[in-house]
Amino acid sequence: MSEAAPSQSPVTVSDRDAVRTVTINRPDKLNALNAATIDALHEAFQAAAADESVRCVILTGAGSKAFVAGADISEMNTLTPSQGRDFSLRGTRMMRFVEKMPKPVIAMINGFALGGGLELAMCCHLRIAADTAKVGQPEINLGLIPGFGGTQRLLRLAGRAATLELCLLGAPIGADRACALGIVNRVVEAGTLEAETMKLADQLAASAPLAVRGMIDCINVGGECGIEEGLEYESAQFGLVFSTDDMREGTSAFLERRKPSFRGS
């Protein structure tokens, strides 16, 4: 991806067919998350959720060095305890919205994803990283703890032992180890990252949108409840898709040995 010059907006948006790319555009600050950037991201994802022409979203950072190198330390340095809590809640609300998006969101990790950057990547549905990327939760080195869900999502993705290691030691790890731990889904050569991510996004954009939404809902619910409740929810969602034209199209296309054309209805 080409280097993006700083602009007035901390977030830029571009579309290619049914795929929208949201780019954090603060390369001079390694795309660090300040309050304005968090708000701009929230607005960008709300717009993507509401836009019927968008079926998949790619999230990345401008430049070649960082996805997001963390939260903006210069902004956090003077916060009071109540302001710090408010800043945490601001980021958490935005990331929770991304996590519950009805459309798949792919984090394209093109460089450092540290602290708030890793937390932002983890709230996305899929993560594809360049082989040169580094991820971690270095807040301990600043006398802080993760504030945007790092202890919670990392625990669910990588387990207790890895979460304690990354949070307590604060050292970043490479993309290959992150993949082995389940923190990222795929690792590709840095030079092919954009093409591989777009290929994955195109595949998701061509899938049945209502079925995609149902899967995301079921997995989110299942990750936060007991097995019985999760199974009940899945059965209910399974029944609902039988009311869709896409389900009829998909099953008919299979029986007729042709490629389905899903319309999101």
The stretches in the chain having pLDDT less than 70 are 1-7
Residues 179-238: tens digit of each pLDDT: 999 999 999 999 999 999 999 999 999 999 999 999 999 999 999 999 999 999 999 999
Residue at 5 is within a domain: no
Give yes or no: residues 139 and 218 share one domain.
no
Find the domain containing 18 and state its range: 11-205
Residue at 262 is within a domain: no
Give yes or no: residues 145 and 214 share one domain.
no
Q: What is the mean pLDDT of the chain?
A: 94
Q: Choose the final residue of a domain: 205, 231, 247.
A: 205
> Residue 4's pLDDT is what?
43
Give yes or no: residues 84 and 153 share one domain.
yes
Residue at 3 is within a domain: no
Give yes or no: residues 142 and 231 share one domain.
no
Strand order of the β-sheet with 112-114 is 66-68, 112-114, 134-136, 173-174
Residues 36-52: tens digit of each pLDDT: 999 999 999 999 999 99
> Residue 249's pLDDT is what?
87
Question: Which of the residues are catalytic?
Answer: 119, 139
